[in-house]
Amino acid sequence: MADDCELILHVGLPKGGSSALQTALSMTPDLTSASGRQLRYTALRQRGGLTSIRYGEDLSRDARRSPYGYVSWPNMKAGDAASPVFEALGKVMAAGREGGFVPIASCEGWVSRPHIFAKQLQMWGNPRVEVVAFLRPPLDWVNAAYWQWGIWHQPDLDLWLKRGNLPYEFGPALEHWSKIPNLRLRLGNARPDVVAKFSEFYEINLPNASSSNTSSPPALIGFLLRNRQFRSSGHDASTEFVFQRWCPPVGGRKPWAIRVRHVWQLRPTVQRNRAALRRIASEAELADIFSDTRWTDEKPYHAALREGGSALDDRTEMAGLREALLEGLRQACAAGGGAMPEVPDCPAESSSTREWDDMFCPLMEALLRADLAVREAQGGRELRGLKARMMRSFPKLFGG
């Protein structure tokens, strides 16, 4: 890191280890590099039209109270030059100059906002900024993004891809970032560990806090799709974060939706993004990114392609989901000092999906309630709104 760097922006990618990095930084927001430079992770909180910049223990406390386990910066619309984000970033840089530290700000959606940042940085006199992004291959990313967001709005991958704005254009977007004066771009492979790579970039000791936003098992996705009270849209993944925080992994394959026709369809996207990266990345960065051979070879996908798309109601995986929920519920109840609720019997394998869901629903409701109790114990005043919403959604949990 250059000694005169005034701001570090982690811009993504979405589904590129951002949650893991944000979780780690939220738990250890104040850091010192090997050269003695102080770095501070920051976040912008927006509530009721008011904003506040969070630092230090206040930031970590906010993260512990959040169902996501981390805090970050909000995104802005593509042309929103009046976004409060920019005023806050200006204040953060000023505080860093005065306090002798380099602020870190993170939002995985900023990767697609190079043009608006270019204008704002120019208005600030183009201070020295470092921009960090971790990448994964387009095919792999499209599959993950579909399960994270697409399927909640369009339960057909072909139709989702035909929207006309295919989201994987991160290589060209990063190329635009690279052209901003006084800006250094730092790129890496999102695998196997973005926290370790970020630590290496800045010569810091940043402990991994926990796994965050890993792929949900197909059985859980199927349950949530059928029971939208637990996840209303692609942008409300809090239930999955709670599940991941307490529950052990469920056996079976990860969710898969790509077919051979999608591989053919996405080849130009892969080539375009690969070419953009070759123009902007260093040799070391390219070696790291393309160490994932799926950037240059489709063979690693062949086994998944032969197996086909994931079933969302496989009874073996649903039984595994039940066991994971039970173990997670035991741990959450123990952590919050609550009693384990009555556990419904496991349906027979031949039972209908509805009967399985009738068993899952009270277990998931109990897990959410136990998780909320743990977070309330860590400073619950700011969770009252969340509790009120849960009481409206799940009145039986609260004696309604």
**Which pLDDT score, from 0 to 100, does residue 1 have?**
59
Q: Is 332 found in the same domain as 197?
A: no
Q: Which residue has the tokens 């999906």?
A: 353
Q: Is the same domain home to 225 and 107?
A: no
Supply the pLDDT for residue 155: 87
| Backbone φ, ψ for residue 259 (5° rounding) | -115, 170
Check whether residue 90 and residue 194 sit in a common domain: yes
311 CA to centre of own chain:
24
Residue 47: give its domain's CATH number. Answer: 3.40.50
**Residues 225 and 362 placed together within one structural domain of the fold:** yes
Residue 39, phi then psi, degrees to nearest 5: -125, 140
Over the Cα atoms of the chain, what is R_g?
22
Asked if residue 367 and residue 223 are part of one domain, the reply reads: yes
> In sequence order, what DSSP letters do the residues of 159-218 get, joined into one string?
HHHTTS--S--HHHHHHHHHTSTTEEEEEEE-SS-HHHHHHHHHT---------SPPPPH
Q: Give the residue carrying structure tokens 């984000």.
A: 85
Query: Would residue 144 count as lying in a domain?
Result: no
What span, in angstroms and rounded, lies between the C-alpha atoms of 76 and 71? Answer: 16
The residues, any chain, with a CB within 8 Å of residue 396's CB and separated by 6 or more, are 365
Establish if 208 belongs to a structural domain.
no
Whether 273 maps to a domain, the answer reads: no
Residue 129 belongs to some domain of the structure? yes
**Same domain (yes/no): 182, 328:** no
351 three-class SS: coil
Which segments of the chain are extended strands (E)? Answer: 7-12, 30-32, 38-41, 43-47, 50-54, 101-106, 129-135, 183-189
Establish if 325 belongs to a structural domain.
Answer: yes
Which pLDDT does position 376 carry in this prediction? Answer: 84
Q: 380 and 353, same structural domain? A: yes
How high is the pLDDT of residue 381? 45
Q: Indicate whether 263 belongs to any domain.
A: no
- Co-location of 58 and 121 in the same domain: yes
- Residue 297 in any domain: the answer is no
Q: What is the reported pLDDT for 173?
A: 97
How many domains does the chain contain in total? 2
Residue 345 lies in domain: 218-253+314-398
Residue 270 lies in a domain: no
Q: What is the pLDDT at residue 166? A: 66
Over the chain (400 residues), the average pLDDT of each successive run of 10 is 85 94 97 96 88 95 92 90 91 96 97 96 97 97 94 90 80 98 98 95 90 81 96 88 94 94 95 98 98 97 96 96 97 93 94 97 96 81 50 51
In terms of domains, do 91 and 181 share one? yes
pTM of the model: 0.90
In 3D space, the residue among 194, 213, 196 whose CA is nearest the CA of residue 135 turns out to be: 194
